[in-house]
Amino acid sequence: MLIEMAIGGAIGKMFYDGNKSLKMDAEATAKYSKAFTREYEAQQLVAQKRNLADKRLENVAKKKKAIINSSLPMFVEVYGQIQKINIQQKDRNFEMIPFSDAEKSGMLQSISVVAKKDFTDKELITGIIFKGFSGMMVEDSKRNLSAARSQLSASNAVYSQAMSIAEVYDAITERSDRIARLLMNMNAMFIGIISESEKIIGNNGLDIRKYSEHDKTVLMMCVNFAVAITKLLDIPVLDENGEIAQKAVEMIQTGEDYLTRINEIINQ
């Protein structure tokens, strides 16, 4: 009787274990799927923010090119009639993203796949003896589920790092937009003053002693605008030595360090 009960119990346990194992495997698959989706979304978030920041930086570059190729030559042509001008043109790399350190760090580190550890020979043999095949099947599924849970936990850290990188790109985008607007407005006023100066020189000739105070003021402000604009051309989107850039690098490096630690544990 006891033997029959034991056999019945063993068969029942085998089915129970099999069912439990399948359920755990399904749960593990769902968790892996959620984890990989989250990591994909993290990569997408970084790519999207980077593209946006690149476009806004291109916009700044366009504004600078317009000033260098159009407004400044116009100024030289007009104002050069009353004062000799020496131009020193710099080599400008308009494609450059002026936040190199953060940008280098801004490549989102991927998390290794947390694969379940295979049983060692010792674990397998003793496990089968004492837990049975169905018991070891459940053990295997437990490991798989545990690995999936780890992947999901790690994917949260990856997404958080993506949000930090996105925050830096947002800052670059916002600053770029403001610089572009400033250059555009300054340029509009500069062109107006060049035009006014051209009229004054046309009306009064090149002898500035014949100019009224108002005329002199216009010409002085024309030079002031020209020099000011050349200085604004050098304004950085983010100053590499400034507090914001330092904090950005620190923030991204912190996330990098955490992701490296997680990867090290996974690959142990």
Partner 1 sequence: MKADDDMTDEDRKNSDSGITREYTGNRNLWDDKKAKENYKDYVFGENKTITDSKGTVIHRDSQSAKNKYHMKNADGENISTAWARHTAETDHKISLKSLHSHAKNNPFLSDSDLKEIANTPENFQILSKSENASKSADNSATFADHAVMHGKFAQKTAQNVAGKFTEGAVESVKGSAMNIITESLNKLLIEGESLEDTLDYAGEAVIDTAIEGGKQQVMEHLRNFLAQNAEQILAESGNKLLSSIVAQNGIGQILVLGTAIGDSTLKYINGEITDEQFAGEILLNGLAVGISAVVSTSVPFLAPVIMNIAVKVADMINQTNRSLNSYLLNEAVIKKISREAVAEMEYQRIKFHELVQKDLDKWDSTVEDAFRQLIMSSSEDSFNLEGMVAGLDKVLSLCGEKAEFHSLNEWENQLDMTLKLSF
d(CA 34, CA 150): 12
CB of 194 to partner 1, least distance (A): 13
CB of 237 to partner 1, least distance (A): 12
Report DSSP letters for 103-145, one per residue: HHHTSPPPPPP-PPPPPPHHHHHHHHHHHHHHHHHHHHHHHHH
Judged by CB under 8 A, the residue of 156, 203, 205, 210 near partner 1 is: 156
d(CA 21, CA 128): 15
Report CA 49 to chain centroid distance, whole Å.
6
Judged by CB under 8 A, the residue of 19, 48, 195, 250 near partner 1 is: 250
If you count them, how many residues does the chain have?
A: 268
Judged by CB under 8 A, the residue of 29, 160, 195, 203 near partner 1 is: 160
d(CA 48, CA 68): 31
Judged by CB, which is closer to partner 1: 54, or 163?
A: 163
d(CA 112, CA 151): 8
Identify residues 93-152 at the interface with partner 1 (CB under 8 A). 114, 116-117, 119-123, 125-127, 129-130, 139, 143, 146-147, 149-150, 152
Identify residues 212-241 at the interface with partner 1 (CB under 8 A). 213-214, 216-221, 223-235
Judged by CB under 8 A, the residue of 45, 52, 66, 244 near partner 1 is: 244
CB of 44 to partner 1, least distance (A): 18
Residue 175 burial by CB count (10 A; 0-12/13-18/19+): exposed, middle or buried? buried
- Window of 39-47, 54-62, 171-179, 197-205 that interacts with partner 1 by CB under 8 A: 171-179
The footprint of partner 1 on this chain (CB under 8 A) covers a number of residues equal to 91
Judged by CB, which is closer to partner 1: 97, or 226?
A: 226
d(CA 44, CA 35): 14
Instruction: State the binding string over 25-64 for partner 1 (x if CB under 8 A, else -).
Output: ----------------------------------------
Map residue 89 onto helix, strand or coil. coil
CB of 217 to partner 1, least distance (A): 5
Buried residues in 15-41 as b, exposed as e (16+ CB within 10 A): eebeebbeebbeebeebbeebeebbee
- Contact between 2 and partner 1 by CB under 8 A: the answer reads yes
Judged by CB, which is closer to partner 1: 85, or 96?
A: 85
CB of 51 to partner 1, least distance (A): 20
- Contact between 190 and partner 1 by CB under 8 A: the answer reads no
Map residue 24 onto helix, strand or coil. helix
CB of 52 to partner 1, least distance (A): 16
